[in-house]
Structures are given as C-alpha cells and as structure tokens.
Structure 1
Amino acid sequence: MLTLQGVSVGYGGAPAVLRDVSVTVRPGRILALTGSSGAGKTSLLSAMAGLLRPRGGAVSIDGQPLRDRDQAVEHRIVLIPQDNGLAPILTAAENLQVALVAGGVAAREARQQTAAALGQLGLSGQADQLVEELSGGQQQRTAIARGLALRGGVLLADEVTSELDVGNRQRVLNLLHEEARRGAAVVFATHDPEVAAACEAELHLVEGRAEVVRG
C-alpha cells in the first residue's frame, strides 16, 4: 500500500507545485489522477515513484518511508512515464527483455513474458522493429507492455492513453483493471474524463491542491 501524508513537491527555488497532498493508494483499486496540464500530475507520480523527494510530508510504501527510486524498485513500484522511456535503438521486444532480466527474470522466461505482453497490446508484429521505427501510438503501447510485464505491486501510469485510438484506449483500460484484480495498486494520471470515470477513485489536482472526487 502506497501512502502520501501531507506531501508538498516542487523544483529548485520555485514555489511548490503541490502542497499538503494526502492519499492512500490501495491494492486492487485504480486511482485516477486528474487535473489540467501543469496541475502537477507528473510531479506527484514522480514523488510516488521515488524520483522526486518531497519538500514536506512523507511518502511510504507498506509502512516504510520511501527514500529514493532504488527503494521504490525494491518494493516493485513500476512507473510508465509519459515520454515512454524506451531505448530507441533497441527493438520493442529488447526493451521489455532488458527490463525483465534486470529485474531478475531468467532470459528464456523474459522472452516468453515479452511475447505475451506485446501480444496483449496488439504488438506481436512489431516485436522486432526498432522503437524509433514505431509510430507514437505503438511506442506508447510498447511502454505499457513493458510496465505490465514487470508485474509491479504498485503501477503508476502517466497519460499512457494520450496517443491511442478508442479501441486501444479501451484495451489499455481493460489491462489496467486486470492488474488491479490481480492485487496491484494502480494510479492512472489522465486528462480524459471518460478514462477517469472508468476508475474506482479520483484525486483531482487544482491550484496546487488535491481533492478527492471519488473513493
């Protein structure tokens, strides 16, 4: 379980982007993180992922203070970033396999899990293509496939349906719900009200504050 208590985040000497945010991300549920562009969705996800140290308050995972990204990885906090974070000179399949092997999965099993994950996102035909050869939507789906293949206890997804058509957007939502059903705590940052409405809970960011809309 991921908990934020009175968290404030910001960059350098600039004013805080968000102040006094408290929320608990529970296993088996999807929390939609909403707000306009610049409201702080990515910053809050970065704090949840151990990439951004809060200015105030505390982030904890399973009752332990979250110090940094290394500890977040140890606790199986997976982040699917908005910019996809893929290596463009590797193939779609290689991007998944490298991440899985780095996480301790044996090479043969990594290949099997990679094929399954890409298949779920309709990317079996693109497995051996370089990422830089893929369309924006295909790159986004590859990043999602990698995040799902890692099977985190907490899955953080940052605007991961922004470049997808209606069919693939629904496919991704279904897969995120499957992750929640297997017991993962899922946080999905989105500006799409229809996508947010499909989640069990919603935390809305506005003017540096966070308010629980549902859940």
Structure 2
Amino acid sequence: MTEQVVAVEDLTVAYDGHAVLTDIVVAAEPGRVLAVTGPSGAGKTTLLWAMAGLIRPASGAVRLGDAEVRDRDQTVAAGVALVPQDNGLAAILTAEENVMVALLAAGVPADEAAERTATVLEQLGLAGQADQLVEELSGGQQQRVAIARGLAQRGTVLLADEVTSELDAQNRKLVVELLQAEAWRGATVVFATHDPEAAAACDAELHLRDGRGELVRA
C-alpha cells in the first residue's frame, strides 16, 4: 500500500462569504489516527470534506502526498475513503449489498469483494444482519454498516465523520479499535468526534473552535 500524508496548509473554507474554517494547519500521517474535535458547528465535517475533495478552499490547500487535492474523483482514485456522518447508505439495499456495491464500483473482483464484505460485517457484529435491508436496521446498526463499507475499501486514507455517535459504549470501543487497526496497517486515519474518550484513544488531536484549529496533542 502506498502511504499518504494528508497535509492541510493554511486552509480557509467559506460559504456565502462567511469563513467556516480559517487558516487551518495540520498533517495527518500514515500509521496514526488524528482526532478532530470541537463543538457542533466548529467545522469538523467541513474539514473532512475538504480532505476528501468535496469542498474547494477559499484559500490554502489540502495536499495528498505531493499532489494538491482538486476534487473527489482524484481522492477516490488515490484511495481516500470517506464515512460520512449521515452514513450515506442506500435504504433499499441490504447491509451486505451496501458494502459490496462500493467495492465492485472501485474495481475489486467479485470474489474478493464478497470476502472483504463478510469479514468487516463480522468484525462489526453484523453477520446476522447481512441480508437485512438497511431501512430495517436500527440507527446504530446502520452506522456500523457505513463503517464496514469504509473499512472494506482498505484505502490509503480513511476519513470517519462522527461514526460513533449512534453507538453504545461497547461498539464505540470496537470502532475505535478498528480505526486503530487501519492505522497499524499503514493507512492515514482522520476521525472527527465529539466523544472525549474516543479522542483520547487517538494518536493526535486537532481541536476546532469558531473555525480555528489548535493542535492540542501532536
């Protein structure tokens, strides 16, 4: 796997002329989990979207390795997986199909996609729900399916946005351990969270407030 540093360089993001993020500087490194913390509205999701290539900055840049991030097509091709806060699942597909479709779309052979899907669903305690429609699952189960889809991609970078908000303590701990395992295999992991315990388990922490960032743990 090609390891990728995600470097945020003096990033400012604005909506309708109003700055949501201002002069953010941080580097997310392979083998480490970077927590992005802060109150609601601080810009955590905006930062992850900028890293994923979904938002263009007003100034500054996000770099993926040596390349400046331009758009989502570029980051997908480079192996950047995003688990969004709203889970982004297709309600009319099963848990298994939601994971499989993403892998097949990325060019993973069908046999390997099926194996990866079964593995991550089992890791997240969802083997018994593989054939259930997403719309039949609880909020916490849906969140775990979205996490499974992100993990199954085995990307160079994993961006996880508030992926433990619907989970109980046991499953929060499990998900944090799986994010750590992604880092241990060489991925760059960025985890936006409002959970102080989850953040404390990460290797570094960027705290956002009023659109500005402070690296409280490096």
| TM category, shorter | over 0.9
Q: Where does residue 12 of structure 2 map in the other structure?
A: 8
1:23 aligned counterpart, secondary structure: strand
Matched, 1:45 2:48: yes
Residues 100-137 of structure 1: per-residue CA shift (max 9 Å, x gap): 01111111211111111100000000000000000000
Q: Secondary structure at the match of 2:90?
A: coil
Give me the TM-score of the superposition, normalised by structure 1.
Answer: 0.98
Aligned partner of 1:59 in structure 2 is 62
User: In structure 2, how many angstroms separate the alpha carbons of the residues matched to 1:75 and 1:107?
Assistant: 21
Structure 2 counterpart of 1:193, which letter?
P
Over aligned residues, Cα RMSD in angstroms? 0.6
Q: What secondary structure, in the 3-state scheme, does the structure 1 residue paired with 2:18 have?
A: coil
- 1:147-186 pair list within 5 angstroms: 147-186=150-189
Structural mapping, 1:91-102, within 5 Å: 91-102=94-105
d(CA) in 1 for partners of 2:40 and 2:119?
Answer: 34
Q: How does 1:15-30 map to 2 (within 5 A)?
A: 15-30=18-33
CA deviation digits over 1:20-43, x for unaligned, max 9? 001111000000000000000000
**Separation in 1, partners of 2:121, 2:208:** 33
**One-letter amino acid matched to 1:90:** L
2:134 alignment counterpart: 131
- Mapped partners of 1:189, 1:65: distance in 2: 22
Matches within 5 A, 1:111-122: 111-122=114-125
Shift in Å at residue 82 of structure 1?
A: 0.3
Deviation string 1:73-110 (CA, Å, 9 cap, x unpaired) is 01111100000010000000000110001111111211
Give the 4+ runs in structure 1 shifted more than 4 A.
Answer: none
Query: Which position in structure 2 is the counterpart of 1:69?
Result: 72
Structure 1 position 14, deviation (Å): 3.6
Residue in 2 that maps onto 1:193: 196
Percentage identity across paired residues of the two chains: 65
User: Which whole-Å CA distance do the structure 2 matches of 1:204 and 1:93 have between them?
Assistant: 35
1:79 counterpart residue number: 82
**Distance of 2:17 and 2:67 partners within structure 1:** 29
Is the partner of 2:194 in helix, strand or coil? coil
- Give the counterpart letter for 1:135 in structure 2: S
CA distance in 1, matches of 2:68, 2:171: 36
